Amino acid sequence: MAATSRKPRIDIQHSVSLLQPRSLGKSDPADLNSAPPLALIVDDDPVFRTVVRAYLEEAGFRVDEAESGQGAIEKFEATPVDIVLLDILMPDMDGFETCVALRKLPRGAGSRS
């Protein structure tokens, strides 16, 4: 039997329910009154991005999207992002390569500045 390259099935609604804006380190009351956290969805599948966007917005996040690793890097450099939801299986630059590149950026090493 030939091996197929399929994305694993995940429960998006459950996963997003675990990501509440308050869980992103906004413990200072001044931070809680600021704009909702920004999530960056990185996936080459536009349907997946649309579905995840809907769940994240319902959970109280602002959402931006990138369809490639390079697009994610450009958006991450331009705008402070609180959380990145990153697909692993993407053409050109896969999710692991993208993650390494994001972590090398000044804001990518876990700082919140």
**Domain limits of the chain?**
35-88
Radius of gyration of the chain (CA): 15
- Count of beta carbons in the 10 Å neighbourhood of residue 82: 18
pLDDT in tens, the chain (113 residues): 455 556 556 676 666 666 666 555 555 545 556 789 999 999 999 999 999 999 999 999 999 999 999 999 999 999 999 999 999 999 999 999 999 999 999 988 765 54
* DSSP conformation letters of 21-86: GGGGS--SHHHHTSPPPEEEEE-S-HHHHHHHHHHHHHTT-EEEEESSHHHHHHHHHHS--SEEEE
Give the per-residue pLDDT at 111.
Answer: 54
User: What are φ and ψ of residue 92, in 5° steps?
Assistant: 65, -85
* Contact call for residues 12 and 52 (beta carbons, < 8 A): yes
Residue 29 pLDDT = 47
CB 24 within 8 A of CB 37: yes
Quick one: pLDDT at residue 113?
Answer: 46
Q: Which residues contact 37 (CB under 8 A, 6 or more apart)?
A: 21, 24, 26, 61, 62, 82, 83
CATH of domain 35-88: 3.40.50.2300
